[in-house]
Structure 1
Amino acid sequence: MSRTTEPAAPGSPLARAEQFMWLTARVLEQRRFAFHFLGGDRDAVDAALGSYLNADGGYGHALDPDLRGPLSQPLHTAHALRVLDSLGRCAGQRIERLCRHLAGVSTPDGALPVVFPGPRAYPGAPYHLVLDDPPGELLTTGPVVGLLHRNRVWHAWLFRATDFCWERVESLRHSHPYEVQAAVTFLDGAPDRARAAAAADRLGRLVRTAGLVVLDPWRRAEHPVAPGYAPGEQLFPHDVARRPESLARGWFTDEELGRSLDFLAADQQEDGGWPVRRRCWAPGSSLEQRPIATLEALLTLRAYGRPLDGGAAGGGPSGAGPELSRPAPAPRR
């Protein structure tokens, strides 16, 4: 995928987002923005990510802003892997050390909990409960395993963790929106593509039947929020099918996805950033989450051919571009 190198047109979504990023984002998100949209250096992103790396091979230091403190946590690992995947650097000794770390801290069934208990308490979002003996969760294991498989990483830990993810995904009868996101990341990277497609088809029917995704964001006030979620904390088609090649793309019609992308484009705030719809529990965490949400919004809009720099939209419904057709899913970009 080509990256923008010319300055965006003044007042365009990208120009407004750039001002927001320089004004509010951490160094990591600033460098990610520069890499994806300004022709920046991937080494600079890698260097910024390295500041979150711990001696045990895991990542900490509030890389995921919902968990503060220095401890290595699975949510930080998933975040780091998303960054490394975007750089094409999810390989090598760093990943080998990370997998050894995951093998040493996984639950007896080979999975990852949401939060590991530490020797002392550090601040964290109240919805991420710290338990003395936490169970393995698809919410954290799915994204880690999916991204490692997507990059053709093999390690002994992955065998049991993959089995855990398959069992959880294929036995889901009830779920919640963030778990669905985790399942999609696993299925999009799983090496058994036929099995992944079959599991995604069943999961998509569950998502639609249970109303886990709001199909019309413009009428979201009429849609009930999932139990335990904050008011307005809802996911839309673009949140689960972030890229056209995702298996989740087939869950939605062109009209539904086009409407969702229209909403995403219109959701850019006056300051140039995108909002975070999760519960606000600490000012610093919320401030750090918005640049991450802004990057995700820009990358999703660009993946579907939406104009960001003031150019004209491509063809298709609502100017969504030709990418609204459903290409065959692929485990790699």
Structure 2
Amino acid sequence: MPGDEASPQHPQPAQTPADPPAAPTPLARAEQFVWLTARVLEQRRFAFHFLGGDADPVDTALGSYLNGDGGYGHALDPDLRGPLSQPLHTAHALRVLDSLGRCGGQRVERICRHLTGVSTAEGALPVVFPSPHAYPAAPYHPVHDDPPGELLTTGPVVGVLHRNRVWHAWLFRATDFCWDRIENLRHSHPYEIQSAVAFLDGVPDRARAAAAADRLGRLVREQRLVVLDPRRRDAYPPAPGYGPDEQLFPYDVARRPESLARGWFTDEELARSLDFLASEQQPDGGWPVRRRDWAPGSALERRPIATLEALLTLRAYGRLPSQVSRPGPAPRP
């Protein structure tokens, strides 16, 4: 009968239970964390690297940290607060520009002029410059009246400039400084090793870099500067002045497979460290920061940076898809 939907002539279609929603992927969970917690710069960087976003918004966000002297400030590196240009900020800015493929041109020429003016007598960069105002800074970056040049700051800056084939007079003495420090290292600490690798991965003399990296890798293993087995972290005590859990792992020094530091570790050691890195994603989708927590704002801003670094490293080793996958529209009945 018309309207009798239960009649044999008009049977109801069979009801099938809806499939449960798929669990969010690690990349999707990280995206949620970034939108909830990150500065505009890290949000733009995530969109560029994982959502197919354009480089211009990243560039614009980075520009808000640029000072009139050609350096960068305003807590671009969250451990140094205040507006003044500092080498750690400029090193951070150059890494961002490098990731965009925009580390060149007049902007970088201006950065190099700034670096020339703030270098020590030996042509290197200190970690922190003294300022006329007591702007807050992490206690592990003490301020000295006459700060010495450090490989910790100079190495990453010189390495990224060389990798982008930047030529400037400042680079000659700064490069010599890095070579001298690296080839004469007898004792070191993990972050200095990280900076040495950043230099060696970018410097043009590849044969010399490979020889220096080989010696450095032996030093790292002899002095237990990198945790080779995350299950035995207590066998690798943190360096003096580091926080209780402030340890580096193979992926921290060999950020990409093509790094010279990749040869320091067996396939098993690297795989263990990458498994550990993947497992470190927290319930909120972000990665932890292992350095000492000294200020709420710094800790909050540091975690999205650490999350981006973790994602880029995992992707470089084939542990993540290149972009966040969006669910398609539901099929029509």
Normalising by structure 1, what TM-score?
Answer: 0.90
Q: Does 1:112 align with 2:131?
A: no
Q: How far, CA to CA, are the matches of 1:28 and 1:10 in structure 2?
A: 28
**1:218 CA drift (Å):** 2.2
Corresponding residue to 1:300 among 298, 302, 313: 313
For residue 254 of structure 1, what is the aligned residue in structure 2? 267
Alpha-carbon offset, residue 98 of structure 1: 0.4
How far is the alpha carbon of 1:64 from its aligned partner? 0.2
Query: 1:168, 1:221 → 2: CA distance?
Result: 29
- Residue 69 (1) aligns with residue 82 (2): yes
Q: Supply the AA of the counterpart residue of 1:226.
A: A
CA displacement 1:9-42 (0-9 Å, x = unmatched): 7510000000000000000000000000000110
Please name the residue that 1:37 is paired with.
50
Q: Which AA in structure 1 matches 2:187?
A: H
1:181 maps to which of 188, 191, 194? 194
Instruction: Give the residue type in structure 2 aligned to 1:129.
Output: P
1:4-19 alignment, distance < 5 Å: 10-19=23-32
Matched position secondary structure for 2:201:
helix
- Distance change (3 Å), C-alpha of 1:217 and 1:115: same
Report if the CA contact (8 A) 2:103-2:164 is conserved.
Answer: yes
CA distance in 1, matches of 2:50, 2:324: 14
Question: What residue is the counterpart of 1:161 in the other structure?
Answer: 174
1:199-214 equivalences under 5 Å are 199-214=212-227
* Aligned counterpart, 1:123: 136
Q: Helix, strand or coil for the counterpart of 2:99?
A: helix
Question: Is contact 2:225-2:236 (8 Å) kept?
Answer: no
The 5 Å alignment of 1:1-333 reads: 10-308=23-321
RMSD: 1.1
Structure 1 stretches of at least 4 aligned residues deviating more than 4 Å after TM superposition:
308-311
Counterpart contact for 2:126–2:153, Cα < 8 Å: yes
- Alignment deviations for residues 273-311 of structure 1 (CA, whole Å, 9 cap, x no partner): 000000000000000000000000000000000035799
Query: Is the 2:151–2:195 contact (alpha carbons within 8 Å) kept by the matching residues of 1?
Result: yes
Deviation at 1:120, TM superposition (A): 1.3
Distance (whole Å) between structure 1 residues aligned to residue 129 and residue 231 of structure 2 = 38
Q: Secondary structure at the match of 1:172?
A: coil
TM-score (norm 2): 0.90
Specify the SS of the correspondent of 1:36.
helix
Q: Which runs of 5+ in 1 are unaligned?
A: 1-8, 312-333
The one-letter code sitting in structure 2 at the alignment partner of 1:162 is T
Q: Could you say which structure has the larger radius of gyration?
A: 2
Which amino acid in structure 1 is aligned with residue 215 of structure 2?
A: R
Question: How many residue pairs are counted as aligned between the two chains?
Answer: 303
Q: Deviations over 1:236-275 (max 9, x none)?
A: 0000000000000000000000000000001000000000
Q: CA deviation at 1:118?
A: 1.2
Aligned to 2:331: none
Q: Which amino acid aligns with 2:212?
A: A
Secondary structure of the corresponding residue to residue 235 of structure 1: coil
Cα distance in 2, alignment partners of residues 119 and 85 from structure 1: 32
The offset of 1:222, in angstroms, is 3.4
Cα offset, 1:221, TM superposition: 2.9
1:61-84 deviation per Cα after TM superposition (whole angstroms, max 9, x unaligned)? 000000000000000011001000
Q: For the residues of structure 2 that align with 1:276 and 1:150, how far apart are their CA atoms?
A: 28
Identity of aligned residues (%): 83
Aligned to 2:7: none
